[in-house]
Amino acid sequence: MNTKISILFYGKKAKTTTDNLLPIYLRVTINGKRFEASTHRYIAPGKWSVEAGRVKGSTEEARRINAYLDLLRSKVYAYQQELLLEGRPVTAEALRDKWLGVEEKPVMLLEVFEKHNGQAEQLVGKDFAPGTLERYRTSLLHTRSFIRWKYKAEDIDVRELDFAFISDYEFWLKSVRGCAHNTTMKYLGNFKKVIHICLKSGWLLRDPFLGFKMSKKEVVRAFLSKEELQKMAAREFGMERLSQVRDIFLFSCFTGLAYADVQKLKRSEIVTGPDRGMWVCTSRQKTDTVSRIPLLPTALAILEKYDGHPQCLNQDRVLPVLSNQKMNAYLKEIADLCGIDKPLTFHIARHTFATTVTLSNGVPIESVSRMLGHTNIKTTQHYAKILDQKVSDDMRSLKDKIKL
């Protein structure tokens, strides 16, 4: 930003001394705002040139005072240069503080981050989902650990942030923390929100992310095929706990609900839909968006099976869901018993609903996005990209239609 600065020396008549000497004052104006300071030099009114802002003539007194005024002018420009080198905006207030020797308290990065997270916590359920707050908290912990690793300090002045900081932070997340590329980009994305606060507040003049590429790599999402779903549904388990985990996993496969949403699903959230059938109507824990999902026969059968389960009755829940860690541990055992050679986790059920159950069977992507509770249809489009079989089926149908 261009800074317009002007320096003026003038005689302040209102401060004329009892022996009729005119005090010389300095006035610095920056972008329309000014500050004034006494030079502690005095001159007879007739010897002062208002037009030149200097003492008239070439007497010893005139040369001495004018040389001192030139020194003060140079001092103003030197302070301007200091502010620029410190990465601070050149304002009348900042230059006045330099002139008076007032030390500005530095704005510390982690203090800004902590204040942001504190405000986000108070807005959970309004502007922020609980999962979003948790990601910001984790990002803060990573940023604090990185600063300790790189600077051997507990915090740093925001003015120290530059492109090298971001590049080194990316390296640390991938090498020291062992984060995958996309996970690293998510943490940097959270951190970038704090950088925007610093930029908008005027604490930073240049965006350290400028020139840094935040692109994510395309990820092939695992999901179960129709055959694998049938194999799992038909399998008889000798252990009741395995059957229970399998049923809850299948329920998610046919509703698209994530683990947290299945775990908290209440009986009151199973409602009669506009088609007179049973629907799930719940808010996603991650994004706090509403998911309205018509229940398919497989999902309805599972609900009926656990309708009288003691855990469901005691907790007012639809299904007796175990901890996510236990569910995933049992799912790996289920995969082995069913001959499914995939790293089975509960989240694969959500991918399976999006691909095998809905998109592959011609359900429009807009409807799938709505049922999944996605806030952006681009998120749903990731599933559509991997459906080569769907593309093949669509093109086969097209070939049949255009036969001459």
pLDDT tens per residue across span 372-399: 888 777 777 777 665 555 666 667 777 7
In sequence order, what are the beta bridge partners of 25? 10, 38
Cβ neighbors of 90 (< 8 A, separation 6 or more) are: 3, 5, 30, 80, 83, 84
Distance CA 162, CA 154 (A): 18
What is the per-residue pLDDT for 104? 67
Distance CA 350, CA 372 (A): 8
CA dihedral 153→185→285→253, nearest 10 degrees, is -140
How much is the pTM?
0.58
Per the listing, tokens 């000014």 go with 34
Residue 263: both structure tokens together:
């775990």
How far is Cα of residue 268 from the mean position of the Cα atoms in its chain? 34
What is the per-residue pLDDT for 136? 94
Q: Is 61 buried (19+), middle (13-18) or exposed (0-12) by CB count in 10 A?
A: middle
In sequence order, what are the beta bridge partners of 211? none
CA dihedral 203→179→120→347, nearest 10 degrees, is 150
Task: Produce one character per residue of 71-107: b if its CB has 16 or more CB atoms within 10 Å, e if not.
Answer: ebbeebeebbeebeeebbbbbbebbbbbbeeeeeebe
Q: Helix, strand, or coil here: 402?
A: coil
Nearest alpha-carbon partner for 324 in 302, 298, 291, 350: 350
What is the per-residue pLDDT for 11? 93
> 282 or 249, which is more confident?
249
> 220 or 248, which is more confident?
248
- Grade residue 403 by pLDDT with cuts at 50, 70 and 90: low
Q: Helix, strand, or coil here: 8?
A: strand
Distance CA 270, CA 316 (A): 12
Distance CA 81, CA 239 (A): 76
Distance CA 26, CA 38 (A): 6
Distance CA 98, CA 78 (A): 10
Mean of per-residue pLDDT scores for the chain: 88
What is the per-residue pLDDT for 298? 93
How many beta carbons lie within 10 A of that of residue 54, not counting itself? 18
Q: What are the DSSP calls for 153-220, one per residue?
A: SS--BGGG--HHHHHHHHHHHHHTS---HHHHHHHHHHHHHHHHHHHHTTS-SS-TTTT---PPPP--
What is the per-residue pLDDT for 393? 64
In sequence order, what are the beta bridge partners of 34? 29
Give the residue-averaged pLDDT of 154-178.
Answer: 93
Task: Produce one character per residue of 291-300: b if its CB has 16 or more CB atoms within 10 Å, e if not.
Answer: bebbbbebbb
Q: Helix, strand, or coil here: 31?
A: coil
User: Which of 139-148, 166-175, 286-295, 343-352 shows the lowest mean pLDDT across its residues?
Assistant: 286-295
How many beta carbons lie within 10 A of that of residue 318, not counting itself? 25
What is the per-residue pLDDT for 130? 77
3-state secondary structure 79-91: HHHHHHHCCCCCC
What is the per-residue pLDDT for 29? 93
